[in-house]
Structure 1
Amino acid sequence: MPLENPVLNDEDYGALAEFRFALRQFQAFSGERAAEKGLTPQQHQALLALRAAPAEEATVGFVARRLLLKPHSATGLIDRLEKLGLVTRHSTAADRRRAQLQLTPSALELLASLSATHKEEIRRLRPLLQTLLERFG
């Protein structure tokens, strides 16, 4: 159970600041790579979430939960991905109102390229992140 008012020292604040800075650097890196491919960071994250989702869970609701969006915002995001030719919708047999989402071959190719680049960056950041996480131990 966490303490109500934990006592933090200067090193704790330094570690928290460095950790947040490293996360923001990764987000900036990720956003730049997505932009190079013609995507927003949110579109990239949605594609990644759909690629990782079990087929039966690949819905607008799933994207909303994974991206911490309201359902109507996720619907707009999927609409834009559909217009870009990166996502298709298919009605389910059990509930015609519920659409399964599927990445198109071009989305899969785009995502594979982005993911390889991101994996390299994570490998580069790994020692720094491990050091920072150990400071919280």
Structure 2
Amino acid sequence: MDMRTKVQPLDKAGLERQSQFRYELRRFLRFGEDAAKAAGVTAVQYHLMLHTQGFPGRDWASIGELAERLQTAPHGVVALVTRGEEAGLVRRQPNEQDGRLVEVHLTAKGRRLVGALAAQHRAQLGALAAVIEAARASAEG
């Protein structure tokens, strides 16, 4: 949104909802950071593995898709994938139809880790979804 657009300031209740949302979001992210660390990977390595599985109908993602999902530059994703390969989490593979496209796939170790970590996140995600729904309901009226 363009910051020059005139918007109504939030009332106290709106600020409280945003504060609660940000708090719960940060708690969710912190949970993920701690869970990843306990599993021996970084949070961004977990996100890399998770996003390789985030596209319907396939079990890989391109560098560009990962850059979009991670909200970072493609060259940063290349470095992250290299570190992920060194850790035995992912592997690169050229696309069969377009050899210029690099597919990032999980290894068996990566599949085990992402499955375990995603399962740990399930309950936390439910709590965050409840906060989002409550904020949406009260915003609608």
- Shorter-normalised TM-score: what interval? 0.7 to 0.9
C-alpha RMSD over aligned residues = 2.1
Cα shift at 1:5? 1.9
Extract unaligned runs of 5+ from structure 1: none
**From 66, 91, 95, the counterpart of 2:98:** 95
Structure with more of its chain in helix, by fraction: 1
The residue aligned with 1:60 is: 63
* Identity across the alignment (%): 26
The residue aligned with 1:74 is: 77
Deviations 1:57-93 (A, max 9, x none): 6111110011111010010111111111111111123
Count residues in correspondence: 136
* SS at 2:137 equivalent: helix
**From 30, 33, 36, the counterpart of 1:34:** 36
Structure 2 CA distance for partners of 1:57 and 1:87, relative to 1, 3 Å: closer
After TM superposition, the structure 1 stretch with the greater mean CA deviation from structure 2, 22-31 or 127-136, is 127-136
Structure 2 CA distance for partners of 1:98 and 1:121, relative to 1, 3 Å: same
Conserved? CA contact 2:60–2:106, under 8 Å:
no
After TM superposition, the structure 1 stretch with the greater mean CA deviation from structure 2, 106-115 or 93-102, is 93-102
The TM-score, its normalising length taken from structure 2, stands at 0.86
Q: Distance in 1 between matches of 2:100 and 2:130?
A: 47
Q: Distance in 2 between matches of 1:65 and 1:125?
A: 23
* SS at 1:100 equivalent: strand
* SS at 2:88 equivalent: coil
Deviations 1:20-40 (A, max 9, x none): 111001100111001111111
